[in-house]
Structure 1
């Protein structure tokens, strides 16, 4: 079986769904939103990891501009400066 090939970069996937999610890296399409902070994601597994940070309160520092979470305040400060 050949699998499903990305027309943009040639990467091959065994499942059509995986190619669909991968294509979002090329288009920038992020239809999934965090229910806690509204941050957008293209990949459900990345949204799930992010949501767990909220649920477990392991990342108390949030960027007000993009919603990215940080465990340490200094990491948030470095992010804001860049």
Structure 2
């Protein structure tokens, strides 16, 4: 791969070297970058900065808030290609797809 910023190449090379210089002070899990460590720390601190505007639920990750918001909006963006049934999250679509398959789908 080619990178225009030298730091990006350095981060990418950690994938191959296994170097994980960012370590959690609570459980000692290691990361190649600081940003995933910051997100991981929320599992220890309980910080939930993403608040639902419709109810009082809060989430540690923005993606979890987005998924939750579908309970209020009724949005179902994941559609089965076999029967056109729709789902609010990808996991439920994958589970449903196994009803169309002879072979089990493992998640």
TM-score (structure 1 length as normaliser):
0.61
How far off its partner does 1:56 sit?
3.6
- Unaligned runs of 5+ residues in structure 2 are 1-46
Tell me the number of residue pairs that the alignment of Structure 1 and Structure 2 aligns.
58
Structure 1: runs of 5 or more not aligned: 59-82
Question: Normalised by the size of structure 2, how large is the TM-score?
Answer: 0.48
Counterpart for residue 98 of structure 2 = 52
Report the structure number with the largest CA radius of gyration. 2
Partner of 2:86: 40
* Cα distance per residue 1:20-66 (max 9 Å; x no partner): 011011001111100111101111111111112222478xxxxxxxx
Task: Give the 4+ runs in structure 1 shifted more than 4 A.
Answer: none
RMSD (Å), alpha carbons:
1.8
